[in-house]
């Protein structure tokens, strides 16, 4: 696959190299910017040059597209005048005619918003057929607490009450894992989907690869996912916690769910590109309060040169933010706080740009149990996250025909997870304390103790990326791009720190303190090449983006299968834009791409697992504390999976979009994604033998054989995402000043295992623990097929006279369904402690009193689809500007609801919704 991808790419390059022909006549250099009313640069505008004989004659000859990222630049022969038509989705076309004679012509365009002057974009806009873009004005109207709230604006998204007591991970184009009742439920087995979503802030990726903030009590290295205070907040191997990203200093967010450019890698699902505000602004103060949180933000863009133009600016942006939230407004014991600070410097001169930023994010999670309700029990969890990030970006334009980008970033986190628990042995407990294999005396615990646990993580990450880009024809949209990216992740923390004699629990402690700074660093290196090309065919346009990205892990120990290997991600997008049919332009887009996510530090270097067996349990009746003796035989298992491979996602996409000349558009997208090798922890069983001593003198003994399990990360998860996304934007209806926007999606997501699974059964028969002797291997689908269809219809009413924006969003979930895959509970094989080998599970086995226990049986009704029928909620949002300096916003979610009662398995299920309110003020000083 890898070499084929490269070959394909090389062929494409050759094909287009022949097209690079420069006319060497007298040339005129045309340049210009395309901006909107607010002076914001409009990317993705179409700029078409057509030769004309005179300013008023009809164009003749071949149109030339000259757009680039900020406007256009093109050299054209001085043989005629040109008519420049600038168009962009959402804006009115603008036409200008060039002058005769001048060698350098700079003609800037300011486009008017489509329907109304001063219209504010409050919904997600489709900047192209590839991306969804959420701009500042939409954020202001939405009144988010964190970036997590913005996902409501994407097709398939809907408003949710904030959940500040759990990590908010992203789910792209999927239903998310669900419990049996169709409610979303975290499942670490399928977290690759969130882990594989890349978040990029001003060119710098947010790396979570070195995050190992967990305790051995958590589900991090488990096959099941718990719901404890820690488990719900733990983001190890789960990607970015969106709660930590404030929206206050964000200019826009682009969400790429389709085929990403080869420029971006180490991802599977897609990416979220965050662009922070980098322009002069007054002091903006944001105050927000809702039922769950209080938020304060202040920011200013300082104009350092006083003479800013788009080509020569000198700006410093400073932002501070604070947010305090409660998981439940009536509960003081669980809360989440966030502090953000950012200073961003932007220097732009002659299209060369230098950006620098220093950002701080601190989040503080706390959860306590109420001692009054809990027998005075102590169980406290506290997780602090502090991240300091330095970013430098340099863009050099037109050096020998090339433009160059150099982005560097470095971040260091100071993360501390603390847990304090009162541990009461159920009777007596013993704690194996050895770090080595063999027989050793265990520490006996006779009474209660307070255990404290610290996980000290100092994940450091650095990223250097370079990019070189060159246009290959007169049309700036025909270009080639090469680049490299090197990412480094290392954890310098003290890791898991605790008193081995006082672990957090006495039941099943198989871990030992571990220094994270001992774990090797993880390096990701990738290089890519991409070709962008467009061929006009009469008035239609054919566009091609083809690229390939090679990913590797340099410096990885050669024992790993991945060591020295390159994984190639070919990506291709083809689109065809028709000429206007009537006043409608159609764009058909088809894409295929492979995306690759390399494992995290925890996946590569998991905690060792300690298997301990009781060799001597001598309890002295007379003087138990002094004379008892407990000896365990310890085996150390290194669960590192040297055969681990990256998680790779195949993405297919087909879309059709229709744009009306004067606004209004419709897009329908079909997608199919398949990942066979998502990461998950799986059970592994080994046979061990140890001595069981009969007495304290340890002379007589029996040699016993037993099985014991640990977990190892495997590529055992399969996620298949398919669905349809729909976006409809209607023109504003003048009479009622209202525009209607419809987004919707149908998602069908399969969460499966791609490898057979070991699963032990509990129970003791005739004094023999079954799982210590026999464990079955089940070749089944331990997964689910989930579906969801929903639509949001937003009525966006804007009355400029009153500076009033009023939106009503009718959010309907048409159905949610979940179906457990049919399971054959009869194992295909079993491992036996006697010989440590696998045996076939046959007819004879079912007649054995012990082996028959391995057969799991299921109620046939378990595999029926569970469907939650439709529900509709209505959300209101109002924004009103008062004078120049004040903007007030208010929202009322779930103000109306339609939640019909339904029956499930013969029971009537009644649903209810409680409204959620909030308001905010933005003050401009």
Partner 1 sequence: MNRIFKSIESAGIATALVVALLCSCSDNEISHTQTTVSITYPADAEGLTIVSEEIKAVNLSTGQTQILPSKSKIDIVSGLYDFIYSAEVQFSSSNGTETSTVKGTLSGKAENVSITQNSCNVNIETFLSAENDDFIIEEIFFTGTLRPSGSAYFGDGYIKIFNNTDHVLYADGVGFCESKFKSTANTEYSPDIRKDTMTIQSLYFIPGSGHDHPVLPGQSLLLCDTGIDHRNANPNSFDLSTADFEWYDVSQNPSTLDIDSETVPNLDKWYCYTESFYTLHNRGFASIALVRVPIDKQTYLKDFWYSYDYTVYTAAGAFPMQQQAFKMPNKWILDGVNLSVEASRLWNVLPPSVDAGWTHCGTTDNDKTRFFKSVRRKVQYINSDGTRHLKDTNNSTDDFNADCVPSVIELQKSAIATDGTKAGKTTLDGITPAN
Binding residues (CB under 8 A) for partner 1: these are 180-181, 183, 375-377, 422, 424-432, 442, 446-448, 506-509, 612-614, 617, 619, 621, 624-625, 630, 632, 706, 708, 762-767, 769, 771-772, 847-849, 852-853, 856-862, 864, 866, 904-907, 909
- How far is residue 96 CA from its own chain's centroid? 43
DSSP state of 14: H
Number of H helices, E strands in the chain: 7, 52
Min separation Cβ 906 and partner 1, Å: 6
If the CB atoms of residues 708 and 796 are measured against partner 1, the closer one turns out to be 708
Two tokens at 499?
Answer: 């008193």
Cβ at position 826, least distance to partner 1 in Å: 12
> Closest CB to partner 1 among 399 and 694?
694
Whose Cβ is closer to partner 1: residue 200's or residue 506's? 506
Least Å from the CB of residue 701 to partner 1: 15
- Closest CB 435 distance from partner 1, rounded Å: 15
Gap between the Cα atoms of 823 and 778, Å rounded: 9
CB of 505 to partner 1, least distance (A): 9
Tokens 């150099």 belong to 406
As measured in angstroms, the least distance from the Cβ of 152 to partner 1 is 24
Which lies closer to partner 1 via its Cβ, residue 592 or residue 815? 815
Give the DSSP H/E element, type plus range, for residue 678: strand 665-693
Residue with tokens 């646990």: 453
Nearest-approach distance from CB 440 to partner 1, in angstroms: 12
Closer to partner 1 by CB, 536 or 639: give it.
639
The secondary structure of 15-28, three-state, reads HHHCCCCCCCCCEE
Closer to partner 1 at the Cβ: 105 or 228?
Answer: 228
The distance from CA 270 to its chain's CA centroid, rounded to whole angstroms, is: 7
DSSP H helices, 709-862, are 770-773
Least distance (Å) from partner 1 to the CB of residue 896? 23
895 vs 909 by CB, closer to partner 1: 909
Report the alpha-carbon distance of residue 515 to residue 492 in Å, rounded.
Answer: 8
Q: Is residue 670 within 8 Å of 129, Cβ to Cβ?
A: no
- Return the closest-CA partner of residue 71 out of 30, 102, 103, 37: 30
Give 22 or 375: the residue with its C-beta nearer to partner 1.
Answer: 375
Nearer to partner 1, 564 or 624 (CB): 624
Q: How far is CA 67 from the centre of its chain?
A: 31
Q: What is the DSSP letter of 180?
A: T
CB of 186 to partner 1, least distance (A): 17
Distance, CA of 863 to CA of 388 (rounded, Å): 48
Of 518 and 767, the one with the shorter C-beta distance to partner 1 is: 767
Q: Which is nearer to partner 1, 703 or 861 (CB)?
A: 861
Q: How far is CA 621 from the centre of its chain?
A: 57
- Smaller CB distance to partner 1: residue 310 or 856? 856
Q: For residue 761, give the nearest of 837, 835, 685, 681 by alpha carbon.
A: 685
What ranges make up the beta strands (E) of 310-437?
312-326, 334-349, 352-368, 379-399, 402-413, 415-423, 429-431
What is the enclosing helix (H) or strand (E) of 139? Answer: helix 136-142
SS in 3 state form for 298-347?
Answer: EEEEEECCCCCECCEEEEEEEEEEEEEEECCCCCCCEEEEEEEEEEEEEE
Residue 610 CB, nearest distance to partner 1 (Å)? 10
Among candidate residues 389, 391, 361, 402, the one with its CA nearest the CA of residue 278: 391
> Residue 690 Cβ, how far from partner 1 at the closest point, in Å?
9
Cβ-based nearer residue to partner 1, 558 or 762: 762
On whether the CB atoms of residues 573 and 542 are closer than 8 A, the answer is no
User: Within 10 Å of residue 455's Cβ, how many Cβ atoms?
Assistant: 27
As a whole number of angstroms, the distance between CA 669 and CA 671 comes to 6
CB of 869: closest distance to partner 1 in angstroms?
12
Q: Shortest distance, CB of residue 695 to partner 1, whole angstroms?
A: 10
CA–CA separation, 893 and 719 (whole Å): 32
Q: With respect to partner 1, which residue has the nearer C-beta, 378 or 890? A: 378
CA distance 594 to 362: 35
Q: Shortest Cβ distance from residue 164 to partner 1 (Å)?
A: 23
Which residue, chain included where needed, has tokens 């007379």? 622
């Amino acid at each position: 696959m890898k070499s084929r991808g490269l070959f394909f790419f090389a062929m494409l390059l050759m094909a287009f190299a022949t097209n690079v022909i420069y006319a060497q006549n007298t040339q005129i250099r045309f340049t210009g910017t395309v901006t909107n009313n607010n002076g914001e640069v409009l990317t993705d505008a179409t700029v078409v040059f057509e030769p004309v004989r005179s300013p008023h004659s009809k164009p003749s000859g071949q149109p030339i597209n000259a757009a680039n990222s900020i406007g256009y630049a093109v050299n054209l022969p001085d043989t005629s005048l040109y008519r420049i038509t600038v168009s962009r989705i959402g804006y009115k076309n603008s036409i200008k005619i060039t002058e005769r004679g001048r060698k350098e012509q700079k003609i800037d365009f300011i486009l008017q918003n489509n329907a109304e002057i001063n219209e504010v974009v409050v919904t997600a806009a489709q900047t192209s057929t590839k991306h969804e873009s959420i701009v500042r004005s939409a954020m202001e109207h939405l009144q988010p607490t964190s970036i997590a709230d913005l996902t409501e604006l994407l097709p398939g998204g809907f408003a949710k009450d904030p959940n500040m007591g759990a990590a908010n991970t992203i789910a792209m184009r999927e239903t998310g894992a669900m419990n049996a009742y169709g409610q979303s439920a975290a499942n670490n087995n399928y977290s690759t989907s969130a882990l594989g979503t890349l978040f990029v802030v001003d060119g710098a990726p947010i790396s979570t690869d070195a995050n190992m903030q967990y305790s051995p009590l958590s589900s991090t290295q488990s096959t099941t996912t718990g719901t404890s205070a820690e488990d719900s907040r733990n983001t190890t191997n789960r990607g970015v916690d969106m709660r930590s990203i404030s929206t206050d200093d964000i200019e826009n967010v682009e969400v790429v769910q389709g085929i990403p450019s080869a420029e971006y890698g180490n991802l599977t699902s897609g990416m979220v590109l965050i662009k922070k505000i980098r322009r002069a602004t007054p002091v903006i103060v944001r105050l927000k309060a809702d039922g769950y949180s209080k938020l304060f933000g202040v920011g200013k863009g300082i104009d350092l040169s006083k003479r800013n133009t788009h080509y020569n600016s000198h700006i410093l942006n400073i932002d501070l933010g604070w947010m305090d939230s409660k998981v439940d407004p009536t509960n003081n014991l669980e809360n989440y706080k966030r502090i953000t600070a950012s200073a961003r410097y932007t220097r732009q001169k002659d299209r060369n740009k230098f950006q620098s930023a220093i950002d701080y994010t601190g989040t503080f999670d706390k959860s306590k149990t109420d001692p009054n309700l809990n027998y005075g029990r102590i169980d406290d969890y506290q997780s602090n996250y502090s991240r300091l990030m330095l970013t430098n970006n340099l863009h050099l334009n037109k050096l020998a025909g090339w433009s160059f980008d150099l982005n560097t970033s470095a971040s260091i986190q100071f993360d501390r997870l603390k847990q304090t628990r009162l541990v009461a042995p159920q009777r007596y407990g013993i704690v194996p304390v050895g770090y080595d294999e063999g027989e050793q005396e265990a520490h006996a615990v006779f009474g209660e103790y307070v255990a404290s646990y610290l996980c000290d993580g100092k994940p450091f990450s650095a990223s250097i990326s370079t990019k070189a880009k060159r246009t290959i024809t007169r049309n700036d949209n025909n270009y080639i791009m090469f680049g490299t990216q090197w990412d480094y992740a290392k954890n310098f923390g003290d890791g898991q720190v605790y008193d081995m004699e006082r672990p957090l629990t006495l039941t099943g402690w198989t871990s030992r303190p571990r220094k994270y700074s001992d774990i090797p660093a993880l390096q990701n290196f990738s290089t890519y090449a991409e070709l962008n090309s467009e061929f006009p065919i009469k008035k239609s346009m054919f566009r091609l983006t083809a690229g390939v990205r090679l990913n590797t892990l340099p410096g990885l120990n050669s024992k790993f299968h991945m060591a020295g290997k390159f994984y190639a991600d070919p990506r291709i997008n083809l689109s065809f834009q028709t000429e206007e049919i009537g006043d409608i332009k159609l764009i058909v887009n088809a894409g295929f791409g492979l995306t690759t996510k390399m494992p995290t530090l925890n996946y590569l270097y998991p905690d060792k697992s300690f298997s301990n067996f009781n060799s001597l349990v001598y309890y002295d009746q007379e003087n138990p504390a002094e004379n008892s003796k407990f000896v365990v035989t310890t085996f150390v298992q290194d669960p590192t999976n040297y055969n681990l491979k990256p998680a790779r996602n195949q993405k297919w996409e087909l879309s059709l979009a229709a744009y009306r000349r004067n606004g209004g558009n419709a897009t329908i997208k079909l997608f199919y994604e398949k990942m066979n090798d998502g990461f998950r922890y799986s059970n592994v069983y080994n046979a061990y033998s140890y001595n069981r001593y009969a007495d304290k003198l340890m002379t007589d003994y029996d040699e016993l054989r037993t099985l014991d399990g640990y977990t190892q990360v495997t590529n055992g998860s399969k996620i298949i995402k398919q669905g349809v996304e729909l976006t409809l934007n209607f023109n504003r209806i003048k009479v009622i000043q209202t525009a209607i926007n419809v987004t919707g999606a149908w998602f069908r997501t399969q969460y499966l295992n791609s490898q057979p699974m070991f699963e032990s059964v509990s129970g003791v028969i005739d004094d023999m623990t079954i799982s210590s002797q026999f464990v079955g291997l089940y070749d089944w689908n331990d997964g689910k097929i989930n579906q969801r269809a929903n639509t949001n219809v937003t009525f966006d009413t804007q009355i400029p006279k009153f500076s009033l924006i009023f939106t009503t969003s009718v959010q309907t979930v048409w159905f949610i369904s979940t179906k457990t895959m049919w399971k054959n509970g009869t194992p295909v094989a079993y491992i036996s402690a006697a010989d440590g080998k696998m045996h076939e599970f046959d007819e004879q086995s079912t007649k054995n009193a012990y082996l028959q226990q391995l057969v799991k049986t299921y109620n046939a009704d378990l595999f029926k689809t569970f469907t939650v029928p439709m529900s509709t909620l209505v959300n209101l949002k109002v924004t009103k500007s008062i004078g120049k300096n004040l903007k007030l916003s208010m929202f009322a979610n779930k103000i109306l609801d339609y939640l019909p009662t339904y029956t499930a398995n013969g029971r009537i299920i009644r649903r209810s919704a409680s409204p959620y309110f909030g308001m905010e003020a933005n003050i401009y000083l």
